[in-house]
Copies of this chain bind each other. A is one copy, B any other.
């Protein structure tokens, strides 16, 4: 059968899907409300890290444009306050991760997509356009939730425990932060106030630091999500430095305060994300379906960097099924949903529990990771495999069993 695929949204999900389809000679049209130039000139959209499995997919799709090791990082540094001394430890990835400013990344992939015969149409789409689009395409993939479109897919209440953001966010690109050695991302925790993630990232001006402040509502850091850089750049920077020194000292210690500033005035994003999982199938007309992907399917808080990675994972599953299946019907949608649910739901659930105050077992696990390298490296690699992480963390019994097993292995190895 001829398969004409309409994709709403030019994010990671839409582009990885479109690129795979073009690799397999399948008709793909991406509809986006912004041109590649508008995306490139726009505000910082996120601080997404791509883990090794996502980089594997980029290689497979022929869009691994950032293979140079200088763009990669190899570990997660952890820094926990709250005790008599800070708990510091490092988990090493089996294979490196990288973060590329999506204002570089997405336009590059849009150009790749067009060069390979993909069509890009620039226009805003809302729910009232779906019926018309159902006539143009054999399947509609909705991966952008701008406007009301995402809400056409019903909320999956059993997978959506929150009705408001659990963190007030400040994400921005900074100069003046020395990298760790070895180069890694750093996750610093200030109990009751929030987390800070420091990610080496390729920007328009070269390598810099993305700081993602995950601020607990009501805590001492919440104001970071509201103070305005453009109203008072120096005051903004002074406030950030003061908060860093108090709450995230190991990151502060790597800052050259004279050089510390936003890389550019629009390299900043503030706000909050309400995590949600949505039912992903919508019948548009007799036998014609829309399927949700990316953030429309599952929105996670950025705390654990899962969003872009599960979007890419799901996009390739969706693409594989489109290429190989004989019909784009209810059964097709079911197969896609079944294949992607394990990883996507695990990423969502894991992120959601990490937004809560830590349980005794999570506290014990953190302590155990600080002196058990096997455990800590496994935790770190599982950023690629959230379903494995969830198998370890889904209940107190699982966390205890994991710690006990790895403690035994460490003892045997010693």
Contacts and interface: CB of A to CB of B under 8 A. Distances in A.
A325 B287 contact: no
Given A338-B338, A341-B338, A329 B397 contact: yes
A279 to B, nearest CB: 14
A327 interface: yes
15 contacts: A1-B397, A1-B401, A287-B397, A326-B391, A326-B397, A326-B398, A326-B401, A326-B405, A327-B397, A327-B398, A327-B401, A329-B395, A330-B394, A330-B395, A331-B394
Contacts of A80: none
A252 interface: no
Contacts of A260: none
Given A329-B397, A335-B391, 17 more contacts: A1-B397, A1-B401, A287-B395, A325-B391, A326-B391, A326-B392, A326-B397, A327-B394, A327-B395, A327-B398, A327-B401, A329-B395, A330-B394, A331-B390, A338-B338, A338-B341, A338-B342
Interface of A: 1, 287, 325-327, 329-331, 335, 338, 341-342, 390-392, 394-395, 397-398, 401-402, 405
A123 to B, nearest CB: 30
A14 to B, nearest CB: 26
A326 B1 contact: no
Contacts of A1: 397, 401
B287 A331 contact: no
Contacts of A331: 390-391, 394-395, 398
A96 B234 CA distance: 79
A341 B391 CA distance: 19
Contacts of A398: 326-327, 329, 331
A329 B287 contact: no
Given A338-B341, A338-B342, A342-B338, A326 B402 contact: yes
Contacts of A392: 326
A338 B402 CA distance: 23
B341 A394 contact: no
A397 B395 CA distance: 44
A80 to B, nearest CB: 25
A110 B287 CA distance: 49
Contacts of A329: 394-395, 397-398
Contacts of A338: 338, 341-342
Contacts of A287: 395, 397
A353 to B, nearest CB: 12
Nearest to A338: B342
Nearest to A349: B331
Contacts of A394: 327, 329-331
A390 B331 CA distance: 9
A307 to B, nearest CB: 22
A327 to B, nearest CB: 4
Contacts of A327: 394-395, 397-398, 401
Nearest to A394: B331
Contacts of A326: 391-392, 397-398, 401-402, 405
A82 to B, nearest CB: 28
A311 to B, nearest CB: 21
A342 B342 CA distance: 14
A338 B341 CA distance: 9
A194 to B, nearest CB: 28
